[in-house]
Every structure is written in structure tokens, then in C-alpha cells.
């Protein structure tokens, strides 16, 4: 898949890059980070103009993110009908409204694998659109210009950078899951003696 | 959530976390060593920033997804030279990747096109010149 997309970018340039990141932001399993880094390298070679390509890609990816937020927003009614009275849903909604901004921000460029679910949850949980838009725009700007800039810096050796960044992303996700698991188990251990005392 | 289900969730999170962190951590370590071996290319002096980028010389960086015009631009070799070496007409084939050209024209020999292109590009690289060293004083 990535080979085919790379060939299309060197043939047709920024519009194809824009289409790829837009569709990727709506949930298609495209290797977005690899494509953005490669685009940076192509810009260095003079195949793409870095500022216009960057702006097209940023506009497209933000549109894609907002469309997936909208999907979540329009699914809110049926979800609420089903879970409105659920204590867990209310807790999840409150938690997302508290931490959602950071979730949106970090999933734009570091934990990109869970960006689409975060968009959907943001839309469904009633997370404010303006807040979503600002965090999304800043995070995606880092993704496009930061990662694209690394591709520009490393030129024809961009594949090594792409490997490193995708490994950092996977490593971060693993460490976050591990931290949540440890935090939950510590909380369980803390509540257990209290239960015993009550008994 | 019942305590039993909570315990399963915690176990799954911890095991999955360890597996992901271990797998990607090892890969990260491996690729980081690669990066240190290559290192970022030197930043050109400001005066040459506006000029066209220097030609790439490492033919091992040629990939199946690249097209002939793209390789020609990257390695500063005329596209006609590469198409002639492949025995293919440029017309209608300029936007095809090396993999597509291989599939279309050399179905029986997988990987032939990329090898031919590498050899052609290598043969057209400028030969390194030895800088004249001033004779040392007696």
C-alpha cells in the first residue's frame, strides 16, 4: 500500500498527499506518518514545494479530523439513548471533557494509531468543537511540519527516520497501556484492605 | 465492573503494554543504531541552499516504488539512459514504478528491473577525482 501511495505522490504531488492524509484522518489505514516524512524528503529534492505542500496537507488532515469528529457528534443521539443513565458513560464523558484536549493533541503526532477513535469519542462525548479544533490544528501542524521537516533534513535517508518514529509511537503506546495497568492494579490493591476492614 | 473482570482488564493491559513496549523498544534500539551509523546528512552552507540538491550516489537507496524520471532526477542521470538500458520506450511508462515495469515487461524475472536500473545508474556516476595534494616541503 505505502509503495503505491509513494509512487502516486512522486507522479501527482501535493493534491494526492492531501487526499491521502484526509482519507487517513477519517479512518482509512494509510501509513500517514511515513508519507509525511517522505513528502519532506521530496520537498528537499525539489519535487514538492515545502510551504504549499505543508499547507495543503495541514488543511486536508484537519478537514478529515473534523469530519470524523462530526461522525461522532451525529452518532451522539443514539449513543445517549442507549447509555444516558449508565454511570460508566457519565464517568467516561466527564473524564474525556477533562483530559480530551491533551488526548487530541498527543494523538495527532505521537499516538497516531488511536487518533481516529479519539476524534469519534470527542464528537460523541460532546467535547466542545472549538477546543477540539484548536488542539487538533496545533497537533497536526507539529505532525506535518515537524515530521515533514525531519524528512527534509534527512533527505534520501528518510526511511530510517520513519522507522524510528513509528517505533517511538508503538513504544509510547505500550508504556501508556502499562502505566494504566499498573495504576489500576495499585488502585485495586489500595481499595482491597478497606473492604476487608469494613468486613 | 466486577472485581474479576477488573483483574482480567488489568492483566490484559499490563501484558499488552509489556509486549508492545518490548517489541517496539527493541526495534527502536536497532533502528537508532542504524541512524547513528548513517547520521543526518551535513547541512549545506547557506550560500548553496538555493541551488538544486546534490545528486544522490548510493544506488542501494533505489526502491521498487520509484519511477524512472524520479530516479533520473535524484541521481542526475538522463531518463533516456535508464529507459534505453531497460529496452523500454519512455512513452506511457514514465509514471510507472519499477515494480510495475517489471510486472509488465519482465514477468518471468522478478527483481530484474531494479537490478538493471541500479547497475545503469552506478555506471553513470561521476568517477571520484583525487584532489591534487601539494608536494610536501623537503
Are the Cβ atoms of A171 and B21 closer than 8 angstroms?
Answer: yes
What 3-state DSSP class applies to B97? strand
User: 10 Å Cβ neighbour count for A117?
Assistant: 14
Nearest to B111 by CA among B123, B120, B98, B94: B98
User: Is the model's pLDDT at A86 over the cut of 80?
Assistant: no
Distance CA A174, CA A133 (A): 27
In this structure, what C-alpha cell is assigned to residue B73?
A: 532526477
User: Is the model's pLDDT at A193 over the cut of 90?
Assistant: no
Q: So what's the pLDDT on residue B56?
A: 78
Q: So what's the pLDDT on residue A197?
A: 57
Cα distance from N-terminal residue to C-terminal residue, chain A: 59
With a CB-CB cutoff of 8 Å, which residues 74-133 of chain A face chain B?
88
Cβ(B28)–Cβ(A164) below 8 Å: yes
For residue B67, list its beta bridge partners: B97
- The DSSP-derived string for A172-193 is HHHHHHHHHHHHHHHHHHHHHH
Are the Cβ atoms of A156 and B38 closer than 8 angstroms?
Answer: no
Best A4, A31, A33, A160 residue to mutate vs chain B (most B CBs within 10 Å): A160
Distance CA A148, CA A39 (A): 6
Are the Cβ atoms of A184 and B6 closer than 8 angstroms?
Answer: yes
Residues of B in contact with A177 (CB under 8 A): 13-14, 16-17, 20
For A48-65, the pLDDT digits (tens) are 999 999 999 999 999 999
User: Is the model's pLDDT at A82 over the cut of 90?
Assistant: no
Q: So what's the pLDDT on residue A92?
A: 76
In this structure, what C-alpha cell is assigned to residue A73?
A: 457528534
Cβ(A79)–Cβ(A121) below 8 Å: no
To the nearest whole percent, how much of chain A has pLDDT over 70? Answer: 95
Angle between helix A32-44 and helix A14-25 axes, rounded to 10 deg = 160
Question: Averaged over A95-110, what is the pLDDT?
Answer: 88
Cβ(A174)–Cβ(B31) below 8 Å: no
Distance CA B82, CA B80 (A): 5
Phi, psi for B121 (deg, rounded to 5): -65, -45
For A120-149, the pLDDT digits (tens) are 999 988 899 999 999 999 999 999 999 999
Residues of A in contact with B18 (CB under 8 A): 174, 178
Q: So what's the pLDDT on residue B125?
A: 79
Q: So what's the pLDDT on residue B46?
A: 47
Q: So what's the pLDDT on residue B48?
A: 47
Residues of B in contact with A46 (CB under 8 A): 52-53, 73
Q: Which residues in chain B land under pLDDT 50?
A: 44-50
Instruction: Say which residue the cell 499488552 belongs to.
Output: B16
Q: If you average pLDDT over every residue of chain A, what do you get?
A: 88
Are the Cβ atoms of B38 and A160 closer than 8 angstroms?
Answer: yes
Under DSSP, the state recorded for A48 is S
Q: Give just the sign of the alpha carbon dihedral B117, A42, A3, A154.
A: positive
Q: Which of A101-105, A152-156, B69-73 has the lowest mean pLDDT?
A: A152-156
For A7-37, the pLDDT digits (tens) are 999 999 999 999 999 999 998 888 888 999 9
List the alpha helices (DSSP H) in A110-157.
Answer: 115-124, 129-141, 148-154
Cβ(B50)–Cβ(A196) below 8 Å: no
What's the pTM value of the predicted model, to 2 decimals?
A: 0.77
In this structure, what C-alpha cell is assigned to residue A174?
A: 505500550
Are the Cβ atoms of A178 and B14 closer than 8 angstroms?
Answer: yes
Name the residue in chain A with its Cα closest to that of B22: A171
Amino acid at each position: 500500500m505505502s509503495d503505491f501511495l509513494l509512487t502516486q505522490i512522486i507522479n501527482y504531488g501535493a493534491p494526492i498527499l492531501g487526499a491521502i492524509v484526509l482519507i487517513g484522518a477519517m479512518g482509512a489505514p494509510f501509513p500517514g506518518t511515513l508519507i509525511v516524512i517522505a513528502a519532506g524528503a521530496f520537498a528537499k529534492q525539489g519535487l514538492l514545494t515545502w510551504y504549499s505542500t505543508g499547507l495543503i496537507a495541514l488543511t486536508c488532515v484537519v478537514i478529515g479530523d473534523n469530519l470524523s469528529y462530526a461522525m461522532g457528534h451525529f452518532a451522539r443521539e443514539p449513543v445517549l439513548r442507549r447509555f444516558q443513565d449508565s454511570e460508566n458513560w457519565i464517568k467516561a464523558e466527564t473524564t474525556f471533557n477533562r483530559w480530551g484536549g491533551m488526548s487530541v493533541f498527543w494523538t495527532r503526532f505521537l499516538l497516531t494509531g488511536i487518533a481516529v477513535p479519539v476524534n469519534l469519542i470527542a464528537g460523541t462525548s460532546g467535547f466542545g468543537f472549538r477546543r477540539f479544533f484548536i488542539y487538533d490544528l496545533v497537533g497536526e501542524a507539529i505532525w506535518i511540519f515537524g515530521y515533514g521537516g525531519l524528512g527534509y533534513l534527512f533527505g534520501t535517508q528518510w526511511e530510517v527516520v520513519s522507522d524510528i518514529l513509528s517505533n517511538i509511537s508503538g513504544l509510547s503506546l505500550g508504556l501508556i497501556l502499562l502505566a494504566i495497568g499498573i495504576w489500576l492494579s495499585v488502585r485495586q490493591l489500595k481499595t482491597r484492605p478497606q473492604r476487608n476492614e469494613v468486613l | 465492573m466486577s472485581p474479576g473482570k477488573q483483574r482480567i482488564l488489568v492483566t490484559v493491559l499490563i501484558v499488552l503494554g509489556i509486549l508492545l513496549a518490548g517489541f517496539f523498544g527493541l526495534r527502536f534500539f536497532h533502528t537508532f543504531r542504524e541512524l547513528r551509523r548513517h547520521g543526518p546528512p551535513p547541512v549545506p552552507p547557506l550560500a548553496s541552499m538555493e541551488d538544486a540538491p546534490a545528486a544522490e550516489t548510493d544506488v542501494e537507496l533505489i526502491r521498487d516504488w520509484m519511477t524512472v524520471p524520479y530516479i533520473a532526477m535524484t541521481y542526475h542521470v538522463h531518463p533516456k539512459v535508464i529507459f534505453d538500458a531497460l529496452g523500454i520506450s519512455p512513452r506511457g511508462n514514465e509514471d510507472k514504478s519499477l515494480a510495475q515495469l517489471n510486472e509488465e515487461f519482465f514477468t518471468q524475472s522478478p527483481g530484474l528491473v531494479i537490478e538493471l536500473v541500479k547497475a545503469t545508474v552506478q555506471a553513470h556516476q561521476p568517477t571520484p577525482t583525487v584532489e591534487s595534494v601539494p608536494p610536501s616541503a623537503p
